[in-house]
């Protein structure tokens, strides 16, 4: 399996398909590059070099007890981009991965990045503060940490319900999709899963968004119960200089079903513009 080794000796797994302009996909918590399997194929079939990695601590990457923060995630992404010498690069990030690609583009991307796409992304700031009253109270994230510590297997099973909006009337989410969420979550080592909660909830990325000048598509489900749109996409589009907001009415946080079909079509169209 292909790996790169970062400056601190951490092995980062990646997978790629196709040839052409590179498109790099960054997954959400607590998932892995497996979350992007459909997009990898669609992008490769459309004539792109599609690449996805497992964040440190996640999936097949090294199980880390250190470096589980947004700065290091972005530095790891920079190491991968440089190792593969990717240019004219399109970045796609979901949830925590949205924060990762935004920080990478702002602080490391330079002239390598052509476009940025986020979906259900955590920027600019998830946690509620006096300056961010639309955010989620810290007690919610404390509860996530407690769930990971106390019984992570059951916690991931429970989280899959709101992740995919399976708790909504009329939802059509397969058991297989929920099982795969659990499977990917169980591959994260405990320290990485626990520390990543702080990374995705308390990292202020206002300045990162303001620094991005390339075209940016900000996609978000209108019924996202994990990353509520009011504190995320609706603020991000006002901070980024060249951003477009696309809201998918009734769509959940998880990229699945009709939401996935619509989003993937919009991704392909945005890249081709």
Query: Any idea which residues carry the catalytic annotation?
Result: 95, 224, 253
Distance from C-alpha of 27 to C-alpha of 46, rounded to nearest angstrom: 21
Strands 216-221 and 11-17 come out as unpaired
Report the Cα 167 to chain-centroid distance in Å.
22
d(C-alpha 44, C-alpha 218), whole Å: 22
Phi, then psi, of 261 in degrees rounded to 5 = -60, -45
248 in Cβ contact with 223 (< 8 Å): no
Cα 110 to Cα 69, 78, 81, 114: the distances in Å are: 21, 11, 12, 10
Are 50 and 23 a contacting pair, CB within 8 Å?
Answer: yes
Alpha carbon distances (Å) from 7 to 12, 67, 75, 110, 266: 11, 11, 9, 20, 36
Contact by Cβ (8 Å): 49, 23: yes
- For the chain, count helices (H), then strands (E): 9, 8
> Is the alpha carbon torsion for 177, 68, 111, 53 positive or negative?
negative
Tokens standing for residue 160: 């899959």
């Amino acid at each position: 399996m292909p790996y790169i080794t970062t400056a601190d000796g951490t092995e980062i797994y990646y997978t790629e398909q196709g040839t052409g302009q590179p498109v790099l996909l960054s997954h959400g918590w607590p998932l892995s590059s497996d979350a992007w399997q459909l997009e990898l194929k669609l992008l490769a079939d459309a004539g792109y070099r599609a690449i996805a990695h497992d964040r440190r601590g996640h999936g097949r990457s090294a199980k880390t007890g250190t470096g589980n923060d947004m700065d290091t995630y972005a530095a790891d992404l920079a190491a991968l981009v440089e190792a593969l010498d990717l240019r004219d690069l399109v970045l796609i990030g979901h949830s925590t991965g949205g924060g990762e690609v935004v920080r990478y583009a702002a602080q490391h991307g330079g002239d390598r990045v052509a476009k940025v796409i986020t979906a259900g992304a955590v920027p600019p700031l998830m946690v509620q503060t006096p300056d961010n009253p639309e955010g989620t109270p810290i007690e919610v994230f404390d509860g996530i940490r407690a769930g990971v510590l106390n019984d992570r297997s059951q916690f991931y099973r429970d989280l899959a319900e709101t992740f995919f909006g399976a708790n909504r009337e009329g939802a059509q989410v397969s058991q297989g999709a929920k099982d795969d969420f659990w499977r990917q979550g169980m591959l994260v080592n405990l320290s990485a899963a626990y520390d990543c909660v702080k990374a995705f909830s308390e990292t202020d990325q206002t300045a990162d968004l303001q620094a991005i000048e390339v075209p940016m598509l900000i996609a978000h489900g209108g019924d996202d119960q994990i990353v509520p749109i009011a504190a995320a996409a609706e603020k991000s589009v006002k901070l980024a200089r060249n951003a477009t907001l696309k809201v998918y009415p009734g769509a959940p946080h998880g990229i699945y079903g009709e939401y996935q079909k619509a989003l993937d079509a919009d991704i392909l169209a945005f890249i081709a513009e």
